[in-house]
Amino acid sequence: MPIDSDAYQELEAVVGPENISQDPAILDTYSCHATIVGIPRQGLGLGPWWERAGAVILPGSTEEVSEIVKICNYYRIKYKAHSTGQFPGAFAQGENTLTIDLRRMNRIIEINQDHMYALVEPYVTQGELFIECIKKGLAPHMIDAGSSISPLASVTSVAGQGDSAITRGYNERNALAVEWVLPSGEIVRLGSPDTPNAGWFSGDGPGPSLLGIMRG
């Protein structure tokens, strides 16, 4: 079932027509993986091609992501967060899936030398972050998947292993605090940033516990 046309219009109103597409040529760029063989799509054999999404949308802020998720819930559309797309977990599950491409949210907001943390948006790559941290005398953990992946995708959704984890921690343990759009579309902050002026230094309080709710 393709994405409902009323839903598409509502999604377009959130991000503008230049930040949403149903063009098959564009959608296929989100469903091809160089090294991991995909689920065979109808008419194609086993190979690099995975399922094609019904549409791709490029939000510019957390608030826009929240609006998008609420529309998806109302119209019963599946959605997938897509950072740099190296891991097929980000790929669509059929044409009633909306790919949420986070590439417009690409700022390093803060590198805090005193507390040794970085506050980043989803599309910052670990290569970019490493370069900016080195300038401040800090060397963050790099997973072994190459410089182009998103550290935020790694700390929230994939294990985050790599050689430097021995001294700098696995990414599944490295998240300190997050701003999270829940499946309901609500925005929550886990860890210290939920407390006014506390900063982003701790996942386990003051504020809702990242350890208890997300990380385990």
Ligand X SMILES: Cc1cc2nc3c(=O)[nH]c(=O)nc-3n(C[C@H](O)[C@H](O)[C@H](O)COP(=O)(O)OP(=O)(O)OC[C@H]3O[C@@H](n4cnc5c(N)ncnc54)[C@H](O)[C@@H]3O)c2cc1C
Q: Which of residues 92-131 bind ligand X (CB under 6 A)?
A: 102, 122
Residue closest to ligand X when measured from CB atoms: 89
* Helix or strand run (H / E) with residue 94: none
Residue 90 binds to ligand X (criterion: CB under 6 A): yes
Residue 169 binds to ligand X (criterion: CB under 6 A): no
Q: Collapse the DSSP code of 111 into the 3-class scheme (helix H, G, I; strand E, B; otherwise coil) and give the result.
A: strand
Q: Select 36 or 139, whichever has its Cβ closest to ligand X.
A: 36
Amino acid identity at 174: N
The span from the CA of 108 to the CA of 77, in Å, is 31
Instruction: Tell me which residue of 176, 171, 172, 181 sits closest to 193, measured CA to CA.
Output: 176
Q: Select 183 or 196, whichever has its Cβ closest to ligand X.
A: 183
Q: Select 6 or 171, whichever has its Cβ closest to ligand X.
A: 171
The span from the CA of 78 to the CA of 152, in Å, is 21
Task: Count CB atoms within 10 A of the CB of residue 139.
Answer: 12
Bridging pattern class, strands 178-181 and 20-21: unpaired
* Least gap, CB of 8 to ligand X (angstroms): 21
* Least gap, CB of 150 to ligand X (angstroms): 3
What does the per-residue mask of binding to ligand X show for 29-58, with x meaning CB under 6 A? ------xx----------------------
Q: Which residues bind ligand X (CB under 6 A)?
A: 35-36, 80-87, 89-90, 102, 122, 143-145, 149-150, 152-154, 156-162
